[in-house]
Amino acid sequence: MKIKNYTLTYDNYRNLITIYAETESGKPFSYVFSEDQTVREIREKLIEIANKLEQNEQVE
């Protein structure tokens, strides 16, 4: 899985960060996470989402 492009936004009121990304084949997706999550947890979730999108599976 490669992420071609991404941007981050930060919600000061809720301490949430949103990443807007695009898979290698160009499918866009976003993921909202807390700053309490580790980089490893975030990376694993992004990989999971991108792989499911590439395989046209339902993302939870």
pLDDT tens-digit series, residues 17-32 = 888 888 888 888 989 9
| More confident site: 36 or 59 | 36
Q: Please give the tally of structural domains in the chain.
A: 1
Residue 8 lies in a domain: yes
- 28-34 vs 3-11, strand pairing mode: unpaired
Residue 10 lies in a domain: yes
On the question of pLDDT at 38 being above 80, the answer is yes
* Residue with the two structure tokens 């580790």: 38
Residue 16 lies in a domain: yes
Residue 46 lies in a domain: yes
Q: Which two tokens stand for residue 49?
A: 């989402």
Task: Say whether pTM exceeds 0.85.
Answer: no
CA distance linking residue 35 with residue 55, whole number of Å: 29
pLDDT of residue 24: 83
**φ, ψ dihedrals at 59, nearest 5°:** -100, 130
Residue 60 lies in a domain: no
| More confident site: 58 or 25 | 25
The whole domain housing 43 covers 3-54
